[in-house]
Amino acid sequence: MEGLLTRCRALPALATCSHQLSQYAPQRFHHCAPGRGKRLMLSRMFQPQKLREDQVLSLEGRSGDLTCKSQRLMLQMGLIHPASPGCYHLLPYTVRAMEKLVRVIDQEMQTIGGQKVNMPSLSPAELWRATKRWDSMGRELLRLRDRHGKEYCLGPTHEEAITALVASQKTLSYKQLPFLLYQVTRKFRDEPRPRFGLLRGREFYMKDMYTFDSSPEAAQLTYSLVCDAYSSLFNRLGLRCIKVQADVGSIGGMVSHEFQLPVDVGEDRLVVCPSCHFSANMETLDSSRTNCPACQGPLTETKGIEVGHTFYLGTKYSSIFNAQFINVHGKPSLAEMGCYGLGVTRILAAAIEVLSTEDCVRWPGLLAPYQVCLIPPKKGSKEEAAAELAGHLYNHITEAVPQLQGEVLLDDRTHLTIGNRLKDANKLGYPFVIIAAKRALDDPAHFEVWCQNTGEVVFLTREGVLELLSQVQVV
C-alpha cells in the first residue's frame, strides 16, 4: 500500500481549480440508480442509526440482551433492526454486504463443481420421521400444520429433502457423479435463548452443500476439496479461521470438522496444539485430557465462533431414501454423501466482531457495502467551491474505475461539517473516505484520502486517487 501511495503522490497534478470551475455551472447532487453519470446519495439511504447507547438498549428491551460488540455496533449503525426475539430486519448496508459474501461463496463453490439449487423451507414431516430426526431434534425444530392437518417443519437443514430429491432420479450413472448441490437460503431454529444478534438467532441465512459420490474414497476426496474451498474463502475474506475436529451431533456421519473464528465472545471451547497443529472442539475430547492425543504435547485452550461445519455422512441418508446410482458393473449402489454448511449471516457478524474497534465497524475488504465515501465541503464554508470538484471526482471515479460503479457514495448532507460526516464514515467502515476540503482548492488540487483499513491518511491528486482506487477488488 505504501508503495502505491508514494507513486500516487508523484503523479501529474490536476488542472487548476479556476479553470475547472469556469467550465461548469453550479450543480446539485442527484440520487439516481448506480451507473454511468449517476450518483448515490447518503441522505437518501434508509439507515436508521441509533448512535446513543441508551437508544440501542431500548431496541433490545433489556441491557442484558446486548452482550457482544458486533450486536451493539450493527444496531447502532443501522445495519440491523430487531423484529422479534432472535429475528432481525437486515437493512440495506447489511444486505449489500451479504450479497457480496454470497457471490464469493458462489465463486468458491462453483470452482470445485458446485451446482446451485433452491429447496423449499417447508419440509414434510414424513421425511424427518423417516430419519427419526422429527423426534430427536426436539424443540429446536419449528413445526406447523397446514389447514389439512399435514405436518411440516421450517428446515434448519436439508439432508432429508436433498436425498429424497436425488433418490427420485432413477437412472443416475456413476459417470455423472460426483454431484455437489448447494443452496443459500433462510434457515430456522427455535433457539431457547437467542443472543449475540446475528451470531445466534432463530432465523438466519446459511449455505448448505450436499455431495453424492460413487465410493467412500471418492467421497473423502470431495470432502477434502470442499474443506480446501472453505479455507480459500476465509483467506480471501482475511479471516483467520482454524479447522478443528468436531462432533457429528444430530446430523450424524463418521467424520466432522468445524471452521472456527477465534474470539473471546465465542461459545465453543477449542484446544490447539502449537507443536503439531492438532485442533479440536473440546466436546470431542475427554474433559480431563491436558495433552495432545497426536504428539502428547501441551494443549492451548481458546474460544471460537463456528462459521462453517463439514460432515462425511457415508450412506446414513442415502440408505433410508434409497438414493442409488448404477455402478461400473451395471449394479445399483448407494451414494456416499457429505454435507457442508456455512453460516452466511453469522460470518458477517463474526467478521465485524473480530475486525471492528469498540466504536467503529470494520468489514472484510471484499464485503464492505460501499467501497468509497466522498465528502464535499459544508455549505456556506470557505471551501464550498470545492463541492464542484467533489462532484466531478465522483464522475471520474465511476467512469475511470468501472468496478466501482455502484460502490461510491456521496455524503451530500452538506448542512453538517466535514468533521461530523467523517466521524460517521469512520463508524460505518467505508474502506476509503475521500474529502474535498481546503487543499482541493490548491493548484494542483489535492484530495484528502483516508484508508480506513490501514489507518493511513494521504493527500492525492485526481490521478492519484484514480490509481489508488483502480487496485480495489470488488466481487
Domain-ending residue, one of 290, 323, 355: 355
Question: Are 449 and 313 found together in one domain?
Answer: no
Question: Are 343 and 280 found together in one domain?
Answer: yes
What pLDDT shows up at residue 16?
31
Question: Is residue 455 included in any domain, yes or no?
Answer: yes
Domain-ending residue, one of 321, 355, 389: 355
Question: Is residue 14 included in any domain, yes or no?
Answer: no
What pLDDT shows up at residue 277?
84
What pLDDT shows up at residue 56?
61
Question: Are 303 and 419 found together in one domain?
Answer: no
Other C-beta atoms lying within 10 Å of the C-beta of residue 241:
23
Nearest to 396 by CA among 425, 426, 372, 366: 372
Question: Are 324 and 434 found together in one domain?
Answer: no
What pLDDT shows up at residue 329?
97
Peptide bond into 82 cis (omega under 30): no
What pLDDT shows up at residue 286?
86
Question: Are 201 and 295 found together in one domain?
Answer: yes
What is the count of structural domains for the chain?
2
What pLDDT shows up at residue 162?
98
Question: Are 336 and 389 found together in one domain?
Answer: no
Q: Which domain holds residue 244?
A: 53-355
What is the 8-class DSSP label of residue 394? Answer: H
Q: What is the pLDDT along the chain (475 residues), one digit of tens a residue?
A: 445 444 444 443 333 333 332 333 334 444 444 444 579 999 999 987 665 555 665 666 555 566 799 999 999 999 999 999 999 999 999 999 999 999 999 999 999 999 999 999 999 999 999 999 999 999 999 999 999 999 999 999 999 999 999 999 988 999 999 999 999 999 999 998 898 999 999 999 999 999 999 999 999 999 999 999 999 999 999 999 999 999 998 898 899 999 999 999 999 999 999 889 899 999 998 878 888 988 999 999 999 999 999 999 999 999 999 999 999 999 999 999 999 999 999 999 999 999 999 999 999 999 999 999 999 999 999 999 999 999 999 999 999 999 999 999 999 999 999 999 999 999 999 999 999 999 999 999 999 999 998 999 999 999 999 999 999 999 9
DSSP 212-250: EESSHHHHHHHHHHHHHHHHHHHHHHT---EEEE---TT
Measure CA 316 to chain center: 31
> Cα(468)–Cα(472) distance, rounded to whole angstroms?
8
Q: Side by side, which strands form the sheet with 122-124?
A: 122-124, 151-154, 142-145
CATH number at residue 303: 3.30.930.10
What pLDDT shows up at residue 74?
95
Question: Is residue 239 included in any domain, yes or no?
Answer: yes
Between the two ends of the chain, the Cα-to-Cα distance in Å is 20
